[in-house]
Amino acid sequence: MRITGDHAELAVEGRLDVRTAADARAVLHEAVDGGHGDLVLDLGRLDSWDATGLGVIMGTHRRAGRLGRRLVLRAVPGQLQRLLVATRLHRILAIEGAVWEPGGATLPAAGAAATAPLPAPAAASA
């Protein structure tokens, strides 16, 4: 796992799991503590994660909130988007763009404007 960036934007590369959680937590908390405004976490190069890695993200979200900041997830991989929907965490976390619902519907991300339009409701047949 590798995290690069500064106190405003970080990118996670590789695995975010039980083996890398302590290091990731330290880097993310330092970034939260040392900055102000939104902290963008780019997950576009995240290869894999587990429940511990998801816990690191949620802990960073809570810490940011306590300090008057907001954690914003960017480039969330599709599988992780599905996990966030299944756990309803997409309603809590700020996610750039839209989150894809398992049926193909697009849900606006919490705290962020959706970039993809919501599908029109199906017309009722008589």
Tokens encoding 11: 């990118």
**How far apart are alpha carbons 21 and 99 in whole angstroms?**
25
Q: Per this entry, what is the length of the chain?
A: 126
pTM of the model: 0.79
2: which strand partners? 13
- pLDDT given at position 121: 37
Task: Choose between 103 and 14: higher pLDDT.
Answer: 14
Q: Is the pLDDT of residue 115 over 50?
A: no
Distance of alpha carbon 109 from alpha carbon 100, whole angstroms: 9
Residue pLDDT, tens place only, 34-66: 999 999 999 999 999 999 999 999 999 999 999
Alpha helix (H) ranges present in the chain? 21-33, 51-66, 78-86
Predicted pLDDT of residue 105: 52
Note the pLDDT tens digit of each residue in 73-114: 999 999 999 999 999 999 999 999 866 655 555 555 554 433
What's the first-to-final CA gap in the chain, in angstroms? 56
Q: Who has greater pLDDT, 100 or 71?
A: 71
